[in-house]
Copies of this chain bind each other. A is one copy, B any other.
Amino acid sequence: MSLERTQVINFNSGPCALPTSVLEEAAKGLLNYKGTGIGLAELSHRSGYFGQIVNDLAGLIRTQLEVPPTHEVLFTQGGATGQFSAVVLNLLARHRLLYPELSEEERVMDYVVTGNWSKKASEEAGRLGGGVVNVVTDARTVSEDHKSFASIPPHTSFQFSKKPAFVYYCENETIDGVQFSTDPASPAAFPWESIKEEDFVPVVGDYSSSFLSRPIPDLARHALIYAGAQKNLGPAGLTVLIVRKDCLVDTDAAAKLGAQPVPITMDWKVIHANNSLYNTPPMFSMYVSQLVLEHAQAQGGMPAIKLMNERKKDILYDVLDEGAAKGLFRLRVEKASRSWMNQTFHVLGAGKEELFLEQADKAGLKALAGHRQVGGVRVSLYNAISEEQTEVLVSFIREFIKENAA
Contacts and interface: CB of A to CB of B under 8 A. Distances in A.
A127 to B, nearest CB: 6
A33 to B, nearest CB: 11
B15 A280 contact: yes
B264 A44 contact: no
A98 interface: no
A80 interface: yes
Contacts of A84: 264
Interface stretch (A1-9, A146-154, A180-188): A1-9
A15 B236 contact: no
Contacts of A265: 78-79, 81-82, 85
Contacts of A4: 32, 37
B27 A281 contact: no
A261 interface: yes
A127 B85 CA distance: 18
A238 B41 CA distance: 12
A206 B394 CA distance: 53
A44 B372 CA distance: 12
B280 A228 contact: yes
A276 to B, nearest CB: 13
Interface string A295-330: 000000000000000000000000000000000000
- Which of A237, A264, A279 counts the most chain B CB atoms within 10 A? A237
A280 B1 CA distance: 28
A30 B27 CA distance: 7
Contact of A263 (B17, B89, B237): B89
B24 A31 contact: yes
Nearest to A27: B27
B279 A81 contact: yes
A104 interface: no
A53 interface: no
Given A260-B260, A261-B127, A32 B45 contact: no
A56 B237 CA distance: 20
Instruction: State the copy count for this chain.
Output: 2
Contacts of A32: 3-5
Interface in A4-46: 4-8, 10, 12-18, 20, 23-24, 26-28, 30-32, 35-39, 41-46
Given A30-B27, A278-B81, A37 B283 contact: no
A238 B27 CA distance: 19
Contacts of A290: none
Contacts of A288: 41
Given A30-B26, A129-B261, A236 B85 contact: no
Nearest to A77: B77
Given A1-B35, A31-B23, A261-B129, A77 B237 contact: yes
Interface string A86-128: 1001000000000000000000000000000000000010011
A285 B237 contact: yes
Contacts of A236: 41, 45, 280-284
B284 A235 contact: yes
Given A42-B12, A77-B77, A128 B263 contact: yes
Contact of A124 (B3, B41, B77, B264): B264
Nearest to A124: B264
19 contacts: A8-B36, A12-B43, A15-B280, A17-B38, A23-B31, A24-B31, A30-B30, A41-B288, A78-B82, A85-B264, A85-B266, A89-B263, A230-B280, A235-B284, A237-B237, A237-B281, A282-B285, A284-B284, A284-B285
Given A127-B264, A237-B238, A237-B282, 5 more contacts: A3-B35, A4-B37, A37-B364, A77-B78, A129-B261
